[in-house]
Amino acid sequence: MNTTVFPPPRITDPASFGRVAVLMGGASSEREVSLDSGRNVLNALRARGVAADGVDGLPNLMRELQGGHFSRVFNILHGGAGESGVLQGMLEVLGVPYTGSGVLGSALSLDKIRAKQVWLTLGLPTPRYLRLAKGQDVHRAAAELGLPLIIKPSLEGSSVGVSRVYTDANLEAAVELAARYPGELLMEQLIEGDEYTIGVLDGRALASIRIVPAGEYYDYHAKYVAEDTQYICPGLDPPGETEARDQAERAFAALDLRGWARVDFMRDRQGRNWLLEANTAPGMTSHSLMPKSAAAFGIDFEELCWRILEMTMPGGAST
């Protein structure tokens, strides 16, 4: 891949960052993944000489910040308050720089329904969907949308609470699973094809990745446990890569994102892309996709963490 898209890092002295809180863990359903991501980010920053410490969850972070112990925050708190705008609003009030998107971009992206609404207004392709209120007639909704379809919580990530539904008989169980989690339910057209993702760093798309799980689906196990999931990067031919990068950058800008994010999409059998969601605090585990997308541009894990943190400095992330 061409590395000239990204200029050299602006900051060379790790002391410039001050003391950095790597926020991880928390209380969401993605806690364990967040802890894994956080440990990796913490080790990478320390390897580059950054004075960084891990902080588990928002209450602990608030106490540490009130004590004046940190200069800025590297947010790797997946899901929940870490990606909903709650953390971002708190840090804005306190005047503490932080990685990733702001209040609006975080809130829009975590809510898959609102993200789709924004994309649709700009003509960006995303699967047809219905908002499914708890207690709504799911069979009537499915008949309106058409099988096969996906039912999932609108505010969760990491494939938590997601079901693929091919027959009417499986609808009730899918709704029951998704309803265990906060927020509205999303019923979405199932796109049959290949699953992809693409990282975006400072508004510029990286390389796409085609995900080939050993099983039928790229579920939680395939994402974080299995060692036989294949990741093909770049995942598309040059024209396809150009199209995917353009769509990812437009999707990123549409949701008012900044810093870094990962955009997931499907590619159907006719070769058309369909945007699924944007993740504003992507996983940084050994199985995660954002580091793989960056590596294709010659940006290794330590440099990726450095560049993300660098955007918290004056004149940082593009908007």
Query: Mind listing the pLDDT tens digit for each residue in 21-64?
Result: 999 999 988 899 999 999 999 999 999 999 999 999 999 999 99
- pLDDT attached to residue 19: 98
Shared domain check, 183 and 202:
no
pLDDT digits (tens, 9 = 90+) for 231-251: 999 999 999 999 999 999 999
**Rounded distance between C-alpha atoms, residue 282 and residue 118, angstroms:** 21
pLDDT at 159 over 80: no
pLDDT digits (tens, 9 = 90+) for 276-311: 999 999 999 988 999 999 999 999 999 999 999 999
Q: Is residue 39 part of a domain?
A: yes
Shared domain check, 294 and 213:
yes
Give the domain range for residue 208.
109-125+192-301
Active-site positions?
A: 30, 158, 224, 262, 264, 277, 279, 283
- pLDDT attached to residue 220: 56
The pTM of this model reads: 0.90
Q: Is residue 8 part of a domain?
A: no
More confident residue, 137 or 97: 97
**Rounded distance between C-alpha atoms, residue 185 and residue 56, angstroms:** 29
pLDDT digits (tens, 9 = 90+) for 192-205: 999 999 999 999 99
Shared domain check, 289 and 236:
yes
Nearest CA to 277 out of 289, 288, 261, 291 is that of: 261
pLDDT at 313 over 50: yes
- Give mean pLDDT, residues 108-132: 95
Supply the DSSP symbol for 12: -
Domain count, the chain: 3
Shared domain check, 216 and 183:
no
- pLDDT attached to residue 2: 43
What CATH number corresponds to the domain at position 144?
Answer: 3.30.1490.20
- For residues 297 and 43, is the Cβ–Cβ distance under 8 A? no
Shared domain check, 244 and 289:
yes
pLDDT at 1 over 80: no
Shared domain check, 270 and 172:
no
**Rounded distance between C-alpha atoms, residue 41 and residue 105, angstroms:** 22
pLDDT band of residue 160 (cuts 50, 70, 90) is confident
Shared domain check, 258 and 176:
no
Shared domain check, 204 and 60:
no
What CATH number corresponds to the domain at position 114?
Answer: 3.30.470.20
